[in-house]
A and B are shown apart, each in its own frame.
Chain A
Amino acid sequence: MNKRILVCILGLIFFIGFFAFGIASQQRLDTEHRGSIICFPCIGIG
């Protein structure tokens, strides 16, 4: 099998696994962390 194809397919499986594991371990909720407190790094405060 072409090396490039193998890398693509393995990469795809690898990252699907990461994504699924991230959802299963509730990491989706942690992305909201900064939105829940009064801290505005985007604005330049906090």
Chain B
Amino acid sequence: MFGWLYKRIVRYYILIAAFFAGNNYFHKTIYQGKLKGFFFPGLNCYACPLARFSCPIGSLQNFIGVKTFPFYVLGFMGLLGITLGRFVCGWICPFGFFQELLYRIKTFKIRISQKYSYSKYIVLFVFVMILPFFTSQPWFCKLCPAGGIEAGIPQVILNPYLQSLIGRLFYVKMAIVTMLVSFSIFVKRPFCRFVCPLGAIYGIFNKFTFFKIKVDEKKCIECYACQTVCPMDVEIFKAPDSVDCIRCGECIKACPTDALSFKYSLTSAIKNPSQENRR
């Protein structure tokens, strides 16, 4: 049923299309049309003149900053999470795609344990919830490297007026961007795994989403081919509903015994329930 989804080139085309759908590099002024009232499913700077849609994390900070319960943005993220889990991170988010491309550069690679991936929940609570609540400032946006790459660098190059406004914060942001770009060459999707607050929210839904990766324990030979190709370094045969699985399907394509497949249903992701005990 989902055979066509397994092809990497299809995913890359969708990611490129999503990037151009979410951004308009031909606009010279801040886009304030009706589309700004809707969210882009991935990170997308909403102050950015290049953005057609709002960023869910930017809007979440805005609502927290003005002390309004964010029904709209939580409803949006919850609906996407329940229906697709972290699928958006693998198929829509241009910033994740950018990191994936950087990791394809041939050089030595560094593996970082998956246990540190819970650090993104600290980022979510501190920079998206607590600091914006007490200071009414979008602190994650101020430091977000996705905004730095997608908005900061092109806008400062294109707009001489903005060049006169840059200060210390811009240089801090560029330092974060440089660090992240460097890490992305050696580490699999470091921002998505250890920092991204949006991925942290979608990841919670991976346990409850309808869209899962099914593991057939009888076919699985535990060769770790799935983890080797996984852009998030997840041991998918052990934890198909891991908070870090982005449903990209690379593991399905790489599995030598066809033990993995996409599944859209409400039942357990593991075909043989005895595997539940191994986690």
Contact partners of A5 in chain B: CB under 8 A: 266-267
Bound form: Cα–Cα A7–B148 in Å: 38
Which A residues are in CB contact (< 8 Å) with B59? 30-31
Q: Contact partner of B72 among A9, A27, A32, CB < 8 A?
A: A27
Complex CA–CA separation, A30 to B205 (angstroms): 26
- Contact flags B131-142 to A (C-beta < 8 A → 1, else 0): 000000110011
Task: Write the chain A residue with the least CB distance to B139.
Answer: A41
Residues in A with CB closer than 8 Å to B268 are 4
State whether A4 touches B71 (Cβ < 8 A): no
Which applies to chain A's interface (DSSP): helix, strand, loop or mixed?
helix
B155 contacts A22, C-beta separation under 8 Å: no
Whether B266 lies near A43 (C-beta < 8 A) is no
- Chain B residues with Cβ below 8 Å from A43 are 47-48, 147-148, 151-152, 155-156, 162, 166, 170, 173
Q: How far is the CA of A22 from the CA of B46 in the complex (A)?
A: 18
Structural contact, A42 and B151, CB atoms closer than 8 A: yes
A8-B266, A43-B48 given; 13 more Cβ-contact pairs under 8 Å: A15-B75, A16-B75, A17-B75, A19-B75, A31-B37, A33-B66, A34-B138, A35-B36, A40-B155, A42-B144, A43-B155, A44-B152, A45-B169
Select which of A7, A14, A15, A42 is within 8 A of B45 by beta carbon.
A42
The reply to whether B208 and A4 contact each other, CB–CB distance below 8 Å, is: yes
Least Cβ–Cβ distance between A17 and chain B, in angstroms: 7
Contact indicator A42/B79 (Cβ below 8 Å): no
> What string of 1s and 0s marks CB contacts (under 8 Å) between B156-185 and chain A?
100000100111011111100000000000
Once the chains bind, are B170 and A31 in contact (CB under 8 Å)?
no
